[in-house]
Amino acid sequence: MADSLLEVTNLDVTYRTKRDSVQAVSNASFSIESNGYFGLVGESGCGKSTLARAVMNSLDTNGEISGGEIRYRGDPIHNLSDREYKNSVRWDEIAFIPQSAMNSLDPLTTVQNQALEIAQAHKDWSNEKTLEKLRELFDIVGLPQSRIADYPHQFSGGMKQRAIIALSLLLDPSLVIADEPTTALDVIMQDQLLKYLDELRQERDFSLLMITHDIAVVFELCDSIAVMHGGQIAETGGITDVFDEPRHPYSILLQRAFPDVRFPDRSLEQIEGTPPPLSGSVDYCTFADRCPWAEPDCRDGAPPLEPVGGDASHLTSCIRSDEMEELAASHLEGRSTGESSVQSIQGSEQ
């Protein structure tokens, strides 16, 4: 993958507790190309944020990368010390918009002083250049430029979210990891932010790892996607492939669990049950207990990511992927009244 900016290969992340170990991420692999927008999607607790923090070298003290590797521009970064990562990667190469972005600002100093500290640590910029870039970014994320001199407590929750996004983009990083960046924004600001991110890639060599539970956002914004469940990558590939031809049960059911404006009468799927506890070694498909098409073999070893129909760009970890289209069609038969009604309306209008 010569043009890959970020490569995650067979990554395991383990948390040590007093009672046991928890394998929060198991054998995860994906890559992000230069100027590529990649979505990592899955329900809460599936390991998305842990994977992002592993890339950012910011795991909790009881967490560790216990297997696999992470490469940035071809160089391994998973074994860097915190100081090495901070000096060579963080902020000016890879920036992070955390899930709790509203609480990430230093309450004791102004936003502009926080920007100056970041720039002074990583760039040979004048204060004037730094503040001018911050003003531009404030304008882009919908904040008055005059507010750069304010303290965080003077902002509302949504304004804090936008301010931390502006700080994350300050040094023109090559990769931004955004962990649920639109959570605290209203729908208008969400739309503005997503449009900005889409426009930004046309102007700079800029890649994005968008982490979210909202598969619709990923389908709208990103080029490629990885669907995650129970610490495992269930399916990964181009947006069109995964949207039109999903081959993992979780991908299929997750997609059908979200409303589609094209089919307002379609019944939504429910994914019954909860993800399994990931204590000890995870040597099984973590979706098996929730899957309507599971077989005994699904619990006999963790299935590897394999090409769908020989397509190396579309991978799934389901041992029944070759049958999945037929199985899903049979399972969902009779639940597609929305498609039928819309098609009949369109037919009558023509």
**pLDDT for 345 beyond 60:** no
Q: Give the per-residue pLDDT at 350.
A: 40
Cα–Cα separations (whole angstroms), residue 261 to 129, 189, 264, 314, 339: 45, 21, 5, 27, 11
The per-residue pLDDT of the chain, averaged, comes to 87
Q: Which residue carries 């932010």 as its tokens? A: 193
Are 314 and 237 a contacting pair, CB within 8 Å?
Answer: yes
> Residue range 308-324: average pLDDT?
93
Q: What topology does CATH give the domain 1-93+173-334?
A: Rossmann fold (3.40.50)
Per-residue pLDDT of 73-113, as tens digits, reads: 999 999 999 999 998 999 889 999 887 766 789 999 999 99
Task: Give first-to-last CA distance, the chain, whole Å.
Answer: 47
The larger pLDDT score, comparing residue 242 to residue 267, is at 242
**How far is the C-alpha of 249 from the C-alpha of 292, rounded, in Å?**
8
SS3 readout for 59-77: CCCCEEEEEEEEEECCEEC
Domain ranges (residues) in the chain:
1-93+173-334
Instruction: Give, as one character, the DSSP assignment of residue 97.
Output: E
Who wins on pLDDT, 263 or 30?
30
Residues in contact with 272: Cβ distance below 8 Å, sequence separation at least 6, in sequence order: 290
C-alpha dihedral sign at 303, 306, 309, 315: positive
- 128-175 pLDDT, tens per residue? 999 999 999 998 888 999 999 999 999 987 788 889 888 988 999 999
Comparing 104-108, 210-214, 278-282, the range with the smallest average pLDDT is 278-282
